[in-house]
Amino acid sequence: MTKEQIITNGLTSTEVKKLQQKYGKNELIPNQKQSFLKKVIHIICEPMFLLLLLAAVIYFILGEPRDGAVMLIFVVGVISIDVIQEWKTDKTLNALKDLSEPNITVIRDGKEILIASIDLVPGDLMIITEGIKIPADGEILKASDLCIDESSLTGEAEGVWKTTIENSEFSTGYWRNDYCYAGTLVIQGSAYVLVDKIGLSTEYGKIGNDVASAPEKPTQLQKQTGSLVKLWSGIAAVLFILVGIITYFNISDHEFKDRIIESILSGITLAMAMIPEEFPVILTVFLSMGAWRLAKKKSLVRRLPSVETLGAVSVLCVDKTGTITMNKMTVCDTWSFNKEDNKLCLCEIMGLACETDAYDPMEKAMLNYCENLGILKNHLFGGELITEYAFTNELKMMGHVWKHDGEIIIAAKGSPERILTICNLSEKELKLTEDKIIDMSKRGLRVIAVGEMHVQNESEIPTKLTDCTLTLSGLIGLADPPRKSVKEDIYHCTRAGVRVVMITGDNGITASSIAKQVGMPNSENIITGDELNNMSDEELRKRVKEVSIFSRVVPEHKMRIVRAFKDNGEIVAMTGDGVNDAPALKYADIGIAMGKHGSEVSREAADLILMDDNFSVIVDTIKDGRRIYDNIRKAMGYVFTIHIPIAFASLLAPMLKISSVSLFLLPIHVVLLELIIDPTCSIVLERQPAEYDIMERAPRNSNEKILKAGTLVKSILQGIVVFVASFGMYFIILNKGIKNPEIARSMGLVIIMLANLFLVQVNSSDSVFVLQSMKYLIKDKIMWVVNIGTILGILIILYTPLNVFLKLAPLNIGQFLLSFGIAGVSVLWYEVVKFIKKIYSRIQ
């Protein structure tokens, strides 16, 4: 096949299939999947399991195989719950990963299509453009202005210019300049590349392995959870020994062997009640489920801990164009400099200064406007394009040199500040123009100046736009209206203590006018790019305390802006879409990339990718981040609360010299309760809705402890009351009532299980009363399943033959209702506390 044929057709689908079978996936880092068996082994090695197994073994030794078998059945139950949970988390995380996989455009079957980079095969023809990270090694067939950053491979910071093999001079080094390498970055231009090597056979694949697998540092939350687990395990260990010793001395009338076994058994019961296995589970489950929920709302989380950071964001830096505004431009005003000249002439020059195939919304608007005036494209671009002056962020202007009917015209357009410096204007004319610019800008319009220059022959064309001397044609005012919901969103951010900072390449007056339109506080204060250049970091740090608008900035400024805020102790989220935005996105606490029009490099540097480049989604995401953090906090508090009655009961029983057959909680009952606690955390508490005032309080301090003293006191108090209720009931029935340990135990157990349901409802909000929060919980099907499921579970363990195995007994209606009532009272008292708190805060 000739080169032209390859370029137009690419591979066929049948060829692709064969090549895929032969070469496999294009993975730079092999995907290591943990086998199912390994996972199960991992779970079995957890202390909870070893304790369960130990308890089962002891029962068998004691000659009570029935109890041993029941324990083993529970082992299977707990394993299944853990496996299901891990499987679900894995599935969620993999689905998220697939969503943020990089794509690449290839030509297959003669058509341009977008495929996942992982599906590339050798022989594929890929099209690379600015901002793309090259996914495979390949030979360059056709290139225009192609410049590549190969620092990830060669360490060379300077961009490398690439050409095709015919144009390449003999190159001696290892790295060829007619070839592209996986893992490198297109910083300019575009090319057609014939894929040669994929996956681990690429240069990057050969060396990149260990680079990619650098471990991530644990976050605040992970560290705190770690120390919580350690503390808790320490306490458990001490109590384990204590309970064992006490039991040993309590039953001095037993044989030595029995004494040892009994004391180990009561120690195990306590240890099982105290193992803090829930804490790390809460973290992974809540964060991954949170990320999943965010993905459904079109914001993709690339690093899990970002979910937690989101809730602490205090400064939100956004690009104006496209994020705050719609990026749908229309020309709404024109002003021709020369009165006799009419609008048509101005617009013709404007049109000539646009790209012939415009993709920039502003240029599209300009060409549209021309069309409406009857200046059609085939007339406009009918001449010969001799050369062009490219637009750069620093220059902020551009121009085209056209030859029309033998006449050479240089048409230029750009930001007025820059265009006016190369125009030949008298002082008076300059003043007149500047007044007009201010006038337009104040209306929130983006003002573009248009200028022209005529030369006699091609040798007189200046090499740089800045060397031209233009005649001013006039000014164009373009409107880019703010997105509909932005005003409301900014209002919510301000109430939530999140400062919105606007960053734009537009001029200050325009920016300030838009800022005012969307209700940004302090919209008169502006820092311009030039001021920024002349400012020291320290000065900038002081200024950003008040100023929220940055105008006429280039992407490189963003890094300094983020740094200034971070140095002030803020948690910064920042949006960006260009290649040059990547460093700032990485540096920000939350880098936000645009999924629709952002470059791949920016997406890779970001923590969050917005599939829909919309400001509202960012605000929603912050709100969700707060909700998820709240729920983690509530769940950790809940774990404290619910373990107190269990742990205290196993601790107190031997001290009260209760005989081993009539103990409140035997190991099976502890496991039974654990089987309820896990799903309560990972299903029920995970899906708690946001509190009504979640966006009315200031962002949390990022150094704040997950369990604050207040939460801890509340959890412990609640736990103690439930303990008193359940253990008290059991104890009274055992000693004064019907003296039946099975009945006493059943009542106590029912109290804990029902109190568990009430706890979730009461702690659903710190301030709103249960009846109010029930309103939205009532609509939630899962809540119903859990509530009815628990009650059904209680009925089954009490009233079916299972009760014999579980050492429980059926309760009569009176006993059941009494337990129900006591469970309610033991938790609902907290409503009174909420009420008192409310009155107290009103008085203040």
Pick the closer one to ligand ADP by CB: 262 or 363: 363
Report the partner that residue 623 touches, choosing among ligand ADP, Mg ion, none (CB closer than 5 to 8 A by kind).
Answer: none
Q: How far is CA 20 from CA 58, 136, 194, 197, in A?
A: 56, 14, 16, 12
Q: How far is the CB of 463 from Mg ion (least distance, A)?
A: 26
The entry of ligand ADP, Mg ion, none near residue 446 (CB within 5 to 8 angstroms by kind) is ligand ADP
Alpha carbon distances (Å) from 90 to 81, 87, 102, 282: 14, 5, 20, 15
Distance (Å, whole) CA 25 – CA 20? 7
The two most distant CA atoms of the chain are separated, in Å, by 119
319: contact with ligand ADP by CB under 6 A: yes
Tokens read off for 564: 């200034």
The two structure tokens encoding residue 504: 């734009």
Q: Toward ligand ADP, which CB reaches closer, 202 or 504? A: 504
> What angle (nearest 5°) sits at the alpha carbon of residue 702, between those of residues 700 and 708?
65
- Work out what residue 477 binds among ligand ADP, Mg ion, none; the CB cut-off runs from 5 to 8 Å by kind: none
First to last CA, the chain: 84
Which of 86, 278, 506, 691 forms a contact with ligand ADP (CB under 6 A)? 506
Residue among 555 and 667 whose Cβ is closer to ligand ADP: 555
- Residue 129 main-chain phi, psi, to 5 deg: -135, 175
82 counts as binding ligand ADP under rule CB under 6 A: no
Q: Which of 398, 410, 606, 619 binds ligand ADP (CB under 6 A)?
A: 398
Under the criterion CB under 6 A, does residue 577 sit at the interface with ligand ADP?
A: no
Give me the least distance between CB of 167 and ligand ADP, in Å please.
30
Helix (H, G, I), strand (E, B) or coil at 196: strand
Out of ligand ADP, Mg ion, none, what residue 614 binds, judged by CB under 5 to 8 A for its kind, is none
Structure-token match 């490219």, residue found = 390
Collapsed DSSP state (helix, strand, coil) of residue 439: helix
Residue 575 sits in the site that holds ligand ADP (CB under 6 A): no
Confirm or reject binding of residue 203 to ligand ADP (CB under 6 A): no
Using the minimum distance from each CB to ligand ADP, give the nearer residue, 353 or 649.
Answer: 353
Binding to ligand ADP by residue 415, rule CB under 6 A? yes
Kind of pairing between the strands at 608-610 and 590-594: parallel
Which residue among 122, 267, 451, 505 contacts ligand ADP (CB under 6 A)?
505
Task: Candidates 184, 321, 715, 763: give the one binding ligand ADP (CB under 6 A).
Answer: 321
Best CA proximity match to 472, nearest among 385, 592, 345: 345
Q: Does 483 contact ligand ADP by CB under 6 A?
A: no
- The answer to whether the CB of 200 falls within 8 A of the CB of 182 is no
Restricting to residues 711-730, name those near ligand ADP by CB under 6 A.
none
Q: What SS3 class is residue 119? A: helix
Could you give the CA distance from residue 317 to residue 320 in angstroms, rounded to a whole number?
9
Q: Which residue has the tokens 């002891």?
A: 58
| 763, 634 Cβ separation under 8 angstroms | yes
Q: Decide if residue 451 touches ligand ADP (CB under 6 A).
A: no
Residue 127 pairs in a beta bridge with 105, 192
Cβ at position 321, least distance to Mg ion in Å: 5
Q: According to CB under 6 A, which residues from 754 to 793 bind ligand ADP?
A: none
255 vs 258, 264, 578, 658, CA distance in Å?
A: 5, 14, 78, 18
Closest alpha carbon to 665 in 270, 278, 233: 270
469 closest CA partner among 544, 399, 549, 562: 399
Identity of the residue, 316 or 448, whose beta carbon is nearer to ligand ADP in the bound complex = 448
Choose one: 283-291, 388-396, 456-464, 582-590; the region binding ligand ADP (CB under 6 A).
388-396
Q: Are 485 and 612 in contact (CB under 8 A)?
A: no
Q: Is 479 in the site for ligand ADP (CB under 6 A)?
A: no
Strand partners, 377: none
Binding track over 320-349 against Mg ion, x by CB under 5 A: -x----------------------------
| Interface residue with ligand ADP, options 133, 162, 396, 714 (CB under 6 A) | 396
Contact pick of 23, 49, 391, 799 for ligand ADP (by CB under 6 A): 391
User: Does 613 participate in binding ligand ADP (rule CB under 6 A)?
Assistant: no
- Give 548: exposed, middle or buried? Use CB within 10 Å, 0-12, 13-18, 19+: buried
How many binding residues for ligand ADP (CB under 6 A)?
Answer: 19
Q: Which residue from 504, 523, 631, 711 is in contact with ligand ADP, where contact means CB under 6 A? A: 504
Q: Helix or strand or coil: residue 189?
A: strand
Q: Pick the closest to residue 518 from 531, 502, 505 (CA basis).
A: 502
Helix orientation angle between 65-99 and 667-679, rounded to the nearest 10 degrees = 20
- Residue 312 binds: one of ligand ADP, Mg ion, none (C-beta under 5 to 8 A by kind): none
Return d(Cα 584, Cα 294) in angstroms, integer: 23
Binds ligand ADP (CB under 6 A): choice among 138, 414, 451, 482: 414
CB atoms within 10 A of CB 274: 20
Tell me the C-alpha distance between 381 and 404, whole Å: 9
DSSP state of 423: B
Closer to ligand ADP by Cβ: residue 416 or 667: 416
Among 162, 302, 413, 499, binds ligand ADP (CB under 6 A): 413
Q: Which residue is nearest to Mg ion (CB)?
A: 321
User: Least distance to ligand ADP from the beta carbon of 476, Å?
Assistant: 10
Nearest by Cα to 79 from 675, 592, 614, 646:
675
Name which of 271, 283, 242, 266 is nearest 48 in CA terms: 271
491 binds ligand ADP (CB under 6 A): no
Which of ligand ADP, Mg ion, none is residue 360 near (CB under 5 to 8 Å by kind)? ligand ADP
| Strand stretches in 214-324, DSSP E | 299-301, 315-319
Which parts of 263-322 interact with Mg ion (CB under 5 A)? Answer: 321
Residue 395 binds ligand ADP (CB under 6 A): no
Whichever of 222 and 327 has its CB closer to Mg ion, that residue is 327
Say which entry of Mg ion, ligand ADP, none residue 626 contacts (CB below 5 to 8 A, set by partner kind): none
Per-residue string for binding with ligand ADP, 423-442, x by CB under 6 A? --------------------
The residue (of 615 and 629) whose beta carbon lies closer to ligand ADP is: 615
Pick the binder of ligand ADP from 324, 397, 425, 676 (CB under 6 A). 397
Region binding ligand ADP by CB under 6 A among candidate stretches 210-218, 265-273, 299-307, 412-420:
412-420
Partner touching 415 among ligand ADP, Mg ion, none, CB below 5 to 8 Å by kind: ligand ADP
Our CB check for ligand ADP shows the closer of 414 and 477 to be 414
The only residue of 446, 483, 626, 745 in contact with ligand ADP, by rule CB under 6 A: 446
Classify the phi-psi angles of 523: left when phi > 0, otherwise alpha if psi is within -120 to 50, otherwise beta: alpha
State which residue, 321 or 641, has the beta carbon closest to Mg ion. 321
Distance CA 598, CA 143 (A): 22
Closest distance of CB 511 from Mg ion, Å:
13
- 711's contact among Mg ion, ligand ADP, none, with CB below 5 to 8 A by partner kind, is none
From residue 614, how far is each of 321, 389, 575, 753 by CA, in Å?
11, 33, 11, 45
For ligand ADP, the closer CB: 320 or 627: 320
If phi over 0 gives left and psi between -120 and 50 gives alpha, with beta otherwise, what is residue 602?
alpha
Interaction mask 334-363, ligand ADP, x per CB under 6 A: --------------------------x-xx
Residues that bind ligand ADP (CB under 6 A): 319-321, 360, 362-363, 391, 393, 396-398, 413-415, 446, 448, 504-506
Residues that bind Mg ion (CB under 5 A): 321
